[in-house]
Structure 1
Amino acid sequence: METALMKDQYKLYEELVELDKEHFLHPTSSIKQHQENGPAHIFAEGNGIYLTDIKGRKLIDSLSSLWNVNIGHGREELGEVAKKQMGKLGFASTFATWSHEPVIRLAKKVAELTPGDLKTTFFTSGGSEANDTAFKTVRHYWKLKGKPEKTKIVSRKKAYHGVALGSTSATGLKPFHNFTNTIAPDFYHVDSTPEALEAFIEQEGADTIAAFIAEPVQGSGGVNLPPENYFKEIRRICDENDIIFITDEVITGFGRTGKMFGIEHFGVTPDIMCIAKGITSGYAPLGGMVLSERLHNELIELSDEMYMHGYTYSGHPVSCAVALKNLEIIEQENLVEHVRQMGEKMLDGFKWLQNEHESVAEVRGLGLLGAIGLQTIGDEPLAPKVVKEAEKRGLIGRAVLYNGQDTLAFAPPFVINEQEIDEMTNIIHDSLLAVE
């Protein structure tokens, strides 16, 4: 029987759908499909690994929304910290060397957590800005060094580095380039082999190349792990050719792979590390570019003029306070080790699916960052069909179809437990059975 509460909920839902269609232009969405169907979900609450929509339906968030709600939904501690900071100091500029305690404490904490001699952070609002900041900074650095011709930024095919102008240009996924009629100059893409980078350097000349950027594990491009010894060879090549090595840890940073940073699996330290997402677990917008001690010291020594780069919200005090609490929770709850253990459990589940389904061609993962590669049957990829079926069964998934892939990607919140991984695996299993 339909209750008065149900009628009120339905009325609210219908109102929000129409307002959404009329007034909200959604990111990375089909504009036409949005107008035809309205929003796919209107979420109202989150708790742990679950999201609940306005109709009261609860679903497993198997991608931590956008690879970022790492400590899980509904953590009231972060809201309390944000409220306290807003009441004390809601905003203060960090331009012209102005500062405040939360940004100072967070910069120190990042220096403690990052590997090697990574030491000094420029804060941004997110990952795209962090990568754009790195590109501008390395070109500025080479200009100060008397080598202004070193402008080229090299990234990898299937890479995702964001959607600002520079970070879109560094992204190695064609649909992001097709969206506009031009990309920024001096951005190039190579295959994920050391030989491909060496061949590019030989072709273009090391004296024209400013930096090489790579995700330790490619995220949006399909959860692609690097070949064995890849990053050790990349580090060697960059050192031998005087090229700055940047790692994009926007997805892999702060515990996602079972270590604090993804690059730590591969035994090297970059010159610059770009961070975002997991630094606040998505509870407040924040990103950053972390410089090595060497680069920072050289910039100090060489800089006679102002560092002409900054965002209004660089080092926002509320975001920094939230980040400090988020990082405290990750450490106090030993979540990085938990990610390692649950990552092994998740990958075991994927291997079981591979044994059960001929459509599963490959499984891969590192920590709670994993993928299931499918064999396309017929003319249409399977992954979108699986995602649709999984949603019916209470699981939000993600299909990756770039560069001819037919892949399911997963990155559940760090707080997921063994029973919830089993639930997730069983839903995928049932969804595969439904579409095969």
Structure 2
Amino acid sequence: MPNTSAENNFILVVDDTITNLEIISESLTDEGFEVATAMDGQKALQQIQTRLPDLILLDVMMPVMDGFVTCKHLKNHPETKDIPVIFMTAVADTNSKVQALSLGAVDYITKPFHKAEVLARISTHLQLRNLTKNLEKRVIERTDELNQALQDLKESQLQLVQQEKMSVLGQLMSGLAHEINNPVSCLYGNLGHTLTYLQNMSHLIDLYQQHYPNPVPEIQNEINEIDLEYLRSDLPNLIFSMKEGIQRIRDISKSLRIFSRADTENKIQFNIHEGLDSTILILKHRLKSVGSRANIEIKKDYGNLPLINCFPGQLNQVFMNILANAIDALDESFNSNYADDTQALITHIPQIIIQTMLSEDKSQAVIKIRDNGLGMSQENKARIFDSLFTTKPVGKGTGLGLSISQQIIVQKHGGKLEVNSELGKGAEFIINIPVK
């Protein structure tokens, strides 16, 4: 009965004697092997181009190309170097055996053949070959698993560091906003009283001038010296300017509190537009002109969004990452690519356009953030969300911002984060977040 262990094993027999080929082929076929034959080394090499055998039985003494030369060719090519070669020889001298083994053969068989011996040697070397293949495969798989585990560990560590940094930054912002808020509120409230007192004093001066129109020379000189009318007209303007400045500080303090909101275990209702506005305010200093780049224009096209069920602190982190990247892209575009093109600098105003809307079925809040920088190549676009991938110079980017942003949107909120970009046409990031 055929040997089931031989099934699917393909053996090439190379011998210039037809009788030997017939005997060996018949014996191997009876055992269930697939068999092909060749009568010299050159034909054997040609036949291998069509299908690689699992084992080769190779005669030593052959015309055109003998077994030693054929074996050398086999071992010099990556595709065939691992195929087990068993030499068949009528020469039993030690030198021939040593030469055969030194060329990479795994064994040799001395003619005349003993069927049981041939089958036993073939079976042994096929088993060894299969074990080697399986071992190599397992080593490669295990190595890949370990490399992936190491990569995942590195990414997790970096993400933990990044998240901890954002947490500390959030606490710092929250504390700073609280400390700023108390004295600013005091100043803001007292400025209102100051303006009232000023108006009262100004009314009193009007009464004095009405009832005592001719002051003594000393008072008149002092009035002229301090330019009383100018003081009375300008002092309210100063108070209003201070009030606007303090209101600006209050807005910044409020933005810091909104941006640094600590997330609870459960999602809460949040105004997306407040998160965007607070992030823009925090980044406002980066919108000012730098080098050849003019001030960056922020264009907001806010739709009618309801409160969104989300983790506000994490969502603000996403807005920060995308907007900061857009500013970096505009810096690079204008300072590197348009620096020598005056006309381009005049006509090409750096812009970031933010749109919000509901999806057609009203189930998703859609936030689009688009810049008019140089965009990105398709290769970079395909890797933009890969952890540790960055096109920024060393020390400027970690390659974690967009990777973490995608995790926050997809895994934490069940949403979607996509990018549309072409070279020369800017980049647009599209965020979809379920409303409920």
Higher-RCO chain (CA-CA 8 Å, sequence separation at least 6): 1
TM-score (norm 1): 0.24
The structure with the greater share of residues assigned to helix is 2
TM-score (norm 2): 0.24
